[in-house]
Structure formats: structure tokens, C-alpha cells
């Protein structure tokens, strides 16, 4: 038994050393450097006390919240529909909806430019209809569209997996008791999918808060936290502030995900 424990510790060692050396120590270093600038340890409060950073924080959380809500609605409807109705072509639709799963943020940004950029489809269509050329890719609206684009594929997959496990008998029972389709959706389907919604929603939110590639492709002027960190680091060479802000950003996304895991887990346990 003792020997087995030794072997297990030995097996864990390579990953442990790698992880400690390249993640735990650097993160600790980042934390210390965050407190070493002009502001001292107050840099960690700057995200709340400094009006500019606070505004950026609100904007970042705003776009992330909007992304999460819209993605959950779209993916909820589409995911349940595709899981429930196996018509010819269903598999093709699922394949198309999950194709962008592996696109990096920069490519997502480019997709938004193809749709809503200066030479984009939306602008061409709006001009052809006799209106102005509509261009919104290089703004917060474009970023929002990019994040929704990015989040739909993974959220649909989660919703479909959860919808597969829903018991259709519950819906039949509700219907036979005279519930309208709307009531069935709100009283049976949505509560059943709640754990999936919580975990998928948290991932949407965390990526939208921390992602960088999409904003980078669209415009450097978009005022979201990752862009501000990047600017502080490269243009202003304010490494301490960049460190403090990114540490706070990391803490926020990690807490959101951890909370969601606990919440989703608790709901699952309560349902089972």
C-alpha cells in the first residue's frame, strides 16, 4: 500500500513540477508585481476606485451578460428543437451549427467583419435596399455579435446533451393535464435544463469577460477589460497596472465558473 502511494506520487510529479513552475509561481509573481507600481497595493482596488477602469469593468460585464442571455435563448430554442425532432437533414444542421467550435477569437472577429464590416454583407444589403451602408463591426455591437457567434456552438452542444436526458413523460403528463405549450416550456423544459443553462451560461460569461482575440481583430478602441490590460502593458508600459488588472480579471472569471459549478451540481443533486 505504501509502495503504491509512492508510485502514485512519482506519477504525479512531472505534471506537478510543470504546473508549479509555470503556473503557480508565475501567478504569485504576477500578484506581487501588481502591487509594486505607483499605486502600490491600491492597484487592486483601482478597478473600482478609478472611474475609467470602473467604466470599462461595467462595459465588460454588460457585454458579457448580454452575450450570455442572448446565447442561452438562441441555443435553448435551437438545441431542444434539434434534439426533439429528428427530421432528414438534422445531422447536417447540427454539424453546421457546431462547425465554428474550434475558431479562435481572431477568426471570429474576421467573421464579424465579413458580416458587418466596411465591405460586409449587412452593409451591402442595406445599401441595395436603398438605405445607408450599415457598418457596426468595429464597435461594442460588433464585439457582442462576435461573442454570441463564438458561444452558440458550445452552448448548443451542452443543451442538446441535457435535452436528451429530459424525460418526455413529464411533458406528456403536463400536456394531458391541459398545460399550454408555453406552460410546458416554462414549467417543465426550462427547469429540467437549468443545470445545463447554468454551466453553459457561466462558460459564455467567462469567455466574454476574458477573451481578447475578437476585440483585438475588430478594433483596439473597444473599451473592454482585456483590451485595456493589453494597452497598459504594451503602449503605456505600465506592467504593474496590467498585472493587477489581469489578476482581478482572472479571479472574476474563476469565481464565476466555480460558483456555477457548485450551483449546477447542487441542482443536479436536488433533482436526482
Residues numbered 229 to 258 that lie near another protein (CB under 8 A) are 229-230, 233, 239, 242-243, 246-247, 249-250, 253-254, 257-258
Per the listing, cell 502593458 goes with 233
The single residue among 72, 166, 211, 222 that binds another protein, judged by CB under 8 A, is 211
Backbone conformation region of residue 29, classed left if phi is above 0, alpha if psi is from -120 to 50, else beta: alpha
Closest approach of Cβ 140 to another protein, in Å? Answer: 18
Closest approach of Cβ 96 to another protein, in Å? Answer: 5
Closest approach of Cβ 113 to another protein, in Å? Answer: 8
The single residue among 123, 142, 192, 210 that binds another protein, judged by CB under 8 A, is 210
The single residue among 40, 48, 54, 104 that binds another protein, judged by CB under 8 A, is 104
The grid coordinates of residue 254 equal: 474563476
Kindly state whether residue 100 participates in binding another protein, applying the rule CB under 8 A. yes
H helix intervals, 166-238: 168-176, 181-184, 190-210, 213-218, 225-234
In sequence order, which residues have a C-beta less than 8 Å from that of residue 93 and are 6 or more positions away? 82
Site for another protein, residues 145 to 184, rule: CB under 8 A: 149, 152-153, 181
Count Cβ atoms within 10 A of the Cβ of residue 118 and give its class: 0-12 exposed, 13-18 middle, 19 or more buried: exposed
The grid coordinates of residue 124 equal: 451591402
Site for another protein, residues 2 to 31, rule: CB under 8 A: 4, 7-8, 11-12, 14-15, 18-19, 22-27, 29-30
Q: Which is nearer to another protein, 216 or 263 (CB)?
A: 216
# binding residues, another protein (CB under 8 A):
75
Closest approach of Cβ 154 to another protein, in Å? Answer: 12
Closest approach of Cβ 51 to another protein, in Å? Answer: 23
Q: Which is nearer to another protein, 140 or 153 (CB)?
A: 153
The grid coordinates of residue 79 equal: 438545441
The single residue among 46, 67, 68, 105 that binds another protein, judged by CB under 8 A, is 105
Helix, strand, coil shares of the chain as percentages rounded to 5? 80, 0, 20
Per-position x/- string for 34-73, each x denoting binding to another protein as judged by CB under 8 A, each - no binding: ----------------------------------------
Residues 249 and 209: beta-carbon distance below 8 Å: yes
Residues 46 and 256: beta-carbon distance below 8 Å: no
Closest approach of Cβ 2 to another protein, in Å? Answer: 13
CA dihedral over 89, 94, 99, 100, signed as positive or negative: positive
Output the CA angle 106-108-112, nearest 5 degrees.
Answer: 115
Amino acid at each position: 500500500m505504501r509502495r503504491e502511494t509512492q508510485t502514485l506520487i512519482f506519477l504525479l510529479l512531472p505534471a506537478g513540477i510543470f504546473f508549479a513552475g509555470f503556473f503557480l509561481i508565475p501567478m504569485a509573481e504576477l500578484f506581487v508585481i501588481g502591487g509594486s507600481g505607483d499605486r502600490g497595493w491600491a492597484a487592486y482596488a483601482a478597478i473600482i476606485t478609478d472611474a475609467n477602469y470602473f467604466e470599462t469593468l461595467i462595459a465588460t460585464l454588460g457585454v458579457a451578460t448580454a452575450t450570455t442571455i442572448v446565447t442561452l435563448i438562441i441555443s435553448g430554442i435551437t438545441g431542444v428543437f434539434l434534439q426533439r425532432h429528428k427530421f432528414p437533414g438534422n445531422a447536417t444542421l447540427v454539424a453546421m451549427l457546431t462547425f465554428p467550435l474550434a475558431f479562435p477569437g481572431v477568426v471570429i472577429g474576421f467573421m464579424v467583419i465579413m458580416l458587418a464590416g466596411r465591405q460586409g454583407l449587412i452593409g451591402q444589403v442595406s445599401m441595395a435596399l436603398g438605405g445607408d451602408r450599415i457598418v457596426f463591426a468595429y464597435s461594442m455591437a460588433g464585439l457582442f455579435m462576435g461573442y454570441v457567434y463564438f458561444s452558440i456552438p458550445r452552448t448548443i452542444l451542452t443543451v442538446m446533451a441535457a435535452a436528451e436526458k429530459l424525460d418526455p413523460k413529464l411533458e406528456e403528463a403536463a400536456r394531458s393535464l391541459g398545460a399550454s405549450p408555453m406552460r410546458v416550456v416554462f414549467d417543465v423544459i426550462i427547469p429540467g435544463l437549468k443545470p445545463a443553462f447554468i454551466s453553459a451560461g457561466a462558460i459564455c460569461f467567462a469567455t466574454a469577460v476574458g477573451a481578447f482575440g475578437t476585440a483585438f481583430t475588430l478594433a483596439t478602441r473597444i473599451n473592454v477589460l482585456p483590451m485595456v490590460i493589453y494597452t497598459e502593458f504594451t503602449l503605456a508600459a505600465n506592467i504593474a497596472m496590467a498585472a493587477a488588472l489581469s489578476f482581478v480579471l482572472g479571479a472574476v472569471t474563476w469565481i464565476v465558473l466555480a460558483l456555477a459549478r457548485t450551483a449546477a451540481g447542487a441542482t443536479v443533486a436536488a433533482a436526482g
